[in-house]
């Protein structure tokens, strides 16, 4: 492993390659033999589980309930909402048959052509259609509203170029789908869920995000407004990390979901949908990690503390293990996850490199000498700083260190990002600077033409109109036309 670690490409040499290697070397995920689909390995999945648990609690605190809707969607459902089908039908897995049979040479199986479906089924790329088809039966009166459902599930979009966690054909996510009696309530719910995502990203992932509204071009297919959180990676590129959509009455009308309002008159229900996915894993990895491997925020680290004994013989190991016992128990009682690694087939140096690679926040090393002196060597993963401390009361110090690190990596990420946000009013300057990454606050005339030209000439896209910038008039740097506001433009994942 120490040897493999050396082979981790440095970020400065090739950031993209560094990411690809790190995901695999740190045992987070790997490509499967199924095109574009990944295997999430236990260590990676443990982080995702922590994310799920926290997000799920946050959703429930806003009144959301979980449910489960079918994986497969009848082809005709997709066509009901005109924009939606344009956005999703072009890249989906289609189920056409429901049986295999033994082949003629009896050494394999083939599709049984007699078992052809009357109507093809699509593996959900997102579930608005099947869910609103269901809501039709659940919503009759304003008293049935709001309806606030979420599901944790897998979805599939047939991607041509895939990267682990960032873009895979199958991915895991949650998708919330709410129905409301009024436009205002639905819009407020869409913004509320974006705030939940932003709070989660900043407080638990330690990833600072900018909240804003997407341009029409970048909107979810079928939405009237798409709200987004945008994070900056260490190469200055943007990663869209979560979106929340105000869908108006588009799906209410497409699936004829009407309710009787307080005046006993029929109205179409108002909708939102919102989702975050295993893409968050990519944001987490790329924001904090370094050339030695992962750096994980303590709040999401599967192992928060690792204890490594240094010993020359069984007697020394026994003494160290005895002393470590109570430290482990105390840490666990404080809700801290600890691993004591006394494996005898790996040298300490190997273990050190491995836990650095895996991003374990705190490492305690105890040798025979430490035991005599009543000390322990403590290393924090974010700065790699070591200090020797008294064994007595080490639990409190570890707790403090974890809190410090959570704050520190967040501050570091904020500083990094803020130093790379530029107000820019000159297109030539923009074209030069954008190559180095960063977020550019530029005036935009609001036209799709200008947006397309920027994208074509610079590969950068309008990420959002950030909150607070809705009313910042000026002159579009590209077209010279009047602009209502500044937008954030950046190259993005």
Q: Is 120 in the site for a second copy (CB under 8 A)?
A: yes
Site track for a second copy across 343-362, x = CB under 8 A: --x-----------------
Can you tell me which of 2, 5, 21, 37 binds a second copy, judged by CB under 8 A? 37
φ, ψ dihedrals at 170, nearest 5°: -100, 135
Can you tell me which of 73, 229, 283, 379 binds a second copy, judged by CB under 8 A? 73
Nearest approach in angstroms of CB 110 to a second copy is 8
φ, ψ dihedrals at 258, nearest 5°: -115, 150
- Label residues 365-380 b or e (16+ Cβ within 10 Å = b): bbbbebbeeebbbbbb
- Could you tell me how far CA 445 lies from the centroid of its own chain? 31
- The CA distance from 168 to 231, in Å, is 19
Q: Is 140 in the site for a second copy (CB under 8 A)?
A: no
Window of 82-90, 257-265, 363-371, 469-477 that interacts with a second copy by CB under 8 A:
82-90
CA distances from 483 to 260, 400, 470, 474 (A): 42, 49, 11, 5
Instruction: Pick between residue 44 and residue 437 the one whose CB is nearest to a second copy.
Output: 44
DSSP string, 336-373: --EEE---SSS-HHHHHHHHHHHT-SEEEEEEHHHHHH
Can you tell me which of 23, 26, 51, 123 binds a second copy, judged by CB under 8 A? 123
Instruction: Pick between residue 137 and residue 471 the one whose CB is nearest to a second copy.
Output: 137
Can you tell me which of 2, 9, 16, 41 binds a second copy, judged by CB under 8 A? 41
Instruction: Pick between residue 131 and residue 460 the one whose CB is nearest to a second copy.
Output: 131
- The CA distance from 237 to 281, in Å, is 16
Of 433, 417, 461, 435, nearest to 288 (Cα)? 417
What does DSSP assign to residue 70? Answer: -
Window of 92-100, 174-182, 223-231, 390-398 that interacts with a second copy by CB under 8 A:
92-100
- The CA distance from 462 to 468, in Å, is 16
Question: Looking only at residues 159 through 178 of this chain, which bind a second copy when binding is defined by CB under 8 A?
Answer: 170, 172
Q: Is 96 in the site for a second copy (CB under 8 A)?
A: yes
Of 203, 213, 177, 187, nearest to 69 (Cα)? 177
Can you tell me which of 4, 17, 83, 91 binds a second copy, judged by CB under 8 A? 91
Instruction: Pick between residue 33 and residue 428 the one whose CB is nearest to a second copy.
Output: 33
44 φ/ψ sector (left φ>0, alpha ψ -120 to 50, else beta): alpha
Nearest approach in angstroms of CB 302 to a second copy is 9
Q: Is 69 in the site for a second copy (CB under 8 A)?
A: yes
Q: HEC string of 275-336? A: EEECHHHHHHHHHHCECCECCCCHHHCCCCEEEEEECCCHHHHHHHHHHHHHHHHHHHHCCC
- The CA distance from 336 to 338, in Å, is 6
Q: Residues 166, 279: contact at Cβ < 8 Å?
A: yes
φ, ψ dihedrals at 95, nearest 5°: -90, 120
Can you tell me which of 4, 10, 63, 94 binds a second copy, judged by CB under 8 A? 94
What does DSSP assign to residue 269? Answer: P
* Count of residues touching a second copy (by CB under 8 A): 63
Q: Is 92 in the site for a second copy (CB under 8 A)?
A: yes
Window of 38-46, 327-335, 368-376, 444-452 that interacts with a second copy by CB under 8 A:
38-46
Instruction: Pick between residue 135 and residue 439 the one whose CB is nearest to a second copy.
Output: 135
Q: Residues 208, 202: contact at Cβ < 8 Å?
A: yes
Q: Is 14 in the site for a second copy (CB under 8 A)?
A: no
Window of 34-42, 266-274, 290-298, 310-318 that interacts with a second copy by CB under 8 A:
34-42
Q: Is 83 in the site for a second copy (CB under 8 A)?
A: no
Instruction: Pick between residue 237 and residue 279 the one whose CB is nearest to a second copy.
Output: 279
Q: Is 156 in the site for a second copy (CB under 8 A)?
A: yes
Contacting positions for a second copy (CB under 8 A) = 30, 32-34, 37-42, 45-46, 48-49, 65-76, 78-79, 85, 89-101, 107-109, 111, 120-123, 130, 133-134, 137, 143, 149, 153-154, 156, 158, 170, 172, 345
């Amino acid at each position: 492993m120490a040897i493999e670690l050396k082979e981790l490409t440095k970020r400065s040499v090739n950031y993209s390659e560094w990411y690809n290697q790190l995901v695999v070397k740190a045992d987070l995920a790997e490509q499967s033999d199924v095109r574009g689909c990944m295997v999430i390995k236990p260590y990676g999945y443990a982080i995702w589980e922590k994310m799920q648990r926290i997000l799920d609690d946050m959703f429930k605190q806003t009144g959301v309930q979980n449910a489960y809707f079918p994986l497969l969607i009848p082809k005709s459902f997709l066509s009901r909402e005109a924009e939606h089908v344009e956005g999703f039908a072009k890249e989906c897995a289609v189920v056409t048959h429901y049986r295999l049979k033994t082949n003629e040479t009896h050494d394999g199986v083939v599709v049984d052509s007699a078992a052809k479906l009357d109507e093809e089924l699509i593996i959900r790329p997102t579930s608005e259609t099947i869910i609103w088809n269901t809501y039709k039966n659940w919503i009759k009166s304003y008293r049935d509203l709001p309806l606030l459902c979420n599901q944790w599930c897998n979805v599939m979009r047939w991607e041509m170029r895939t990267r682990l966690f960032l873009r895979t054909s199958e991915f895991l996510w949650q998708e919330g789908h709410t129905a409301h009696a009024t436009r205002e309530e639905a819009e407020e719910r869409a913004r509320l869920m974006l705030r939940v995502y932003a709070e989660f990203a900043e407080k638990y992932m330690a990833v600072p995000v900018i909240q804003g509204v997407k341009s029409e071009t970048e909107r979810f297919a079928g939405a009237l407004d798409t709200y987004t959180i945008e994070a900056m990676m260490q190469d200055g590129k943007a990663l869209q990390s979560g979106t929340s959509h105000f869908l108006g009455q588009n799906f209410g009308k497409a699936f004829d979901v009407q309710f009787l309002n307080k005046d006993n008159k029929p109205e179409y229900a108002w909708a939102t949908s919102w989702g975050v996915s295993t893409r968050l894993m990519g944001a987490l990895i790329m924001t904090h990690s370094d050339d030695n491997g992962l750096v994980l925020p303590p709040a999401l680290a599967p192992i928060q503390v690792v204890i490594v004994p240094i010993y020359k013989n069984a007697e020394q190991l026994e003494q160290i293990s005895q002393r470590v016992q109570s430290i482990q128990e105390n840490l666990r009682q404080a809700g801290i996850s600890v691993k004591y690694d006394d494996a005898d087939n790996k040298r300490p140096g190997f273990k050190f490199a491995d836990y650095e690679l895996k991003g374990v926040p705190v490492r305690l090393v105890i040798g025979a000498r430490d035991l005599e002196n009543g000390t322990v060597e403590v290393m924090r993963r974010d700065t790699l700083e070591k200090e020797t401390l008294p064994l007595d009361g080490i639990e409190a110090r570890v707790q403090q260190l974890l809190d410090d690190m959570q704050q520190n990596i967040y501050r570091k990420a904020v500083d990094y990002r803020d130093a790379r946000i530029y107000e820019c009013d000159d297109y030539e300057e923009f074209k030069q600077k954008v190559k180095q990454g960063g977020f550019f606050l530029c005036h935009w005339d609001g036209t799709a033409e200008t947006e397309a030209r920027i994208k074509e000439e610079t590969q950068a896209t309008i990420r959002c109109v950030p909150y607070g910038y809705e009313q910042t008039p000026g002159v579009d740097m590209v077209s010279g036309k009047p602009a209502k506001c500044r937008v954030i433009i950046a190259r993005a994942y």
